Every structure is written in C-alpha cells, then in structure tokens.
Amino acid sequence: MGVREYLNTPRIYFDFDGVLFDFVKQANADGLTMTQAKLEPGMFRRLPVIKGARAFMLDAIQQGYVVFGLTKIPSKNPGAASEKLLAAREHYPELGDHIIISPDKGAVGASKDILIDDMPIWANAHNFPGRVVKFEGCWESIREQLNIPYTVASAKCALADVLAYHGLALPNEVEAVIAAAKQDGERAARERLSSSCRAELTKYRQQLSDADKALVDELIDAMLTSAEQWMR
C-alpha cells in the first residue's frame, strides 16, 4: 500500500448525521427513539439525505476545497461503519474514499480546515484545530458564512433535493429549458428559464412547505444569476 501525499489545500470536513443525512427524520418515521435508532440494523444505510448538502459539496469542490466525511459510529453498533460507507458512496460519490470514522473529531484536521457539524459539543468536535461551523438545518446560511455561491449545476441539484424531500421529481421540462438556454444569449437564457421553470414548478407549490416554496424561488434565482456558466 503506497503512501498518499496531499496538496496543502484547505479541506472541508462534513459530519454525517444531521449534516449530510437526516437521522432524526428517519428515526421519527420508524417510530424509534434516537437511542433505539442508533442500534437499529440497516438504519444508517437508509437515511434520507439533507436537502442542499450535495449541492454545497459540489460548489465547495469548485471553489478549490478538498472534501472529507468525518463521522463516528455508536460503540454498540459496529455495523454502522459499513452502512455509512455504503450510504456515502451512493449519495455523495464526490467523497470517494475521503471518509474518516473516529470517536475524536478533535484529532483530525489542521488550522486551515473547516468542520461543518450540527453538534460541535459531541465527539470532541469543539477541539477541531480549524474553523468549526455549526450546521443548523440551513445550507444557505453555511454558504453565506463561507462565501460559497451556487452554480447552475449545484442550484439544479439542490432544487432536485428539495422536491425529492417531498416525494417529487424535477420536471423533465426544467432539464429541457436548461439545455435550450445554452444555445441562447444570457438575457434570453434568463427569460426562458425564469418563465418556464416557474411555470413548471408552480404545480408543485401546494405540496411544499412555506420555507421550501421560498427556497425553490431562491434556487431558480441562483440559476439565473449563474447563467453565464452555460455560455462557456
């Protein structure tokens, strides 16, 4: 086994449960307490993703960060390690094999690195040597704190996540609009995407929460403001 050499590039470490995966939602859906859910076979393999997480990860990579997953497993459920690795491979392929399982998050990272964690008081995360950013359920806030804007691809990814959270799929018409916009000038692309996307997504609005309705509008705007990406 060879020795790996990494460039001196800042890393973003992502906690799993509560940041990349919605542990609480699945536990509630299964009628389990948090303690029961941690020991439930297969639990960590079937957790739903948190909307917006992969879109943010894509943009972090675009900004030059190296991304890692950093998580711990319940001491009484060693099988959770395999489940988490398989779940990450399916939902966050960008991580590759950059996944660290450790009970001590303070033993990982460097001063230039960032840890995104929903519970920094657990697993010694508060002693992480770099910057700790607390995730409180909103990736928009993390984007603002780290100055990582949307691209067209990531906004589309986040939009698909929002709809999937409610059991909906991104309309094929939206994909077609984005593809067609590549052939237009920036102004035409904006107008085409604005009118068509909003029209196609209006039919879903009654099924979304108020917060997600606002998020859908924000993501469409993000795609519009990134329109110059399509013309390259």
CATH number at residue 118: 3.40.50.1000
Are residues 171 and 197 in contact, defined by beta-carbon separation less than 8 angstroms? Answer: no
Q: Domain for residue 185, yes or no?
A: yes
**Tens digit of each residue's pLDDT (9 = 90 or more) over 147-185:** 998 877 787 788 788 778 777 777 666 666 666 655 555
- Same-domain check for residues 32 and 131: yes
| Residue at which a domain ends, from 84, 117, 146 | 146
- Same-domain check for residues 106 and 189: no
| Residue at which a domain ends, from 146, 176, 208 | 146
* 99-101: strand order across its sheet: 99-101, 66-71, 11-14, 114-117, 131-134
Whether the pLDDT of residue 212 is over 90: the answer is no
Neighbouring C-beta atoms of residue 198, cutoff 10 Å = 13
Query: 144: which residues sit within 8 A by CB, 6+ positions away?
Result: none
- Same-domain check for residues 157 and 94: no
Whether the pLDDT of residue 136 is over 80: the answer is yes
- Same-domain check for residues 20 and 103: yes
- Same-domain check for residues 157 and 138: no
Task: Say whether 137 sits in a helix, a strand or coil.
Answer: coil
Domain count, the chain: 2
Q: Domain for residue 2, yes or no?
A: no
Are residues 170 and 158 in contact, defined by beta-carbon separation less than 8 angstroms? Answer: no
Are residues 19 and 91 in contact, defined by beta-carbon separation less than 8 angstroms? Answer: no
Structural domain that includes position 109: 11-146
- Per DSSP, helices labelled H in the chain are 23-29, 34-39, 53-62, 80-91, 139-146, 152-165, 172-181, 186-202, 210-225
Q: Domain for residue 3, yes or no?
A: no
Q: Domain for residue 1, yes or no?
A: no
Q: Domain for residue 5, yes or no?
A: no
60 or 158, which is more confident: 60
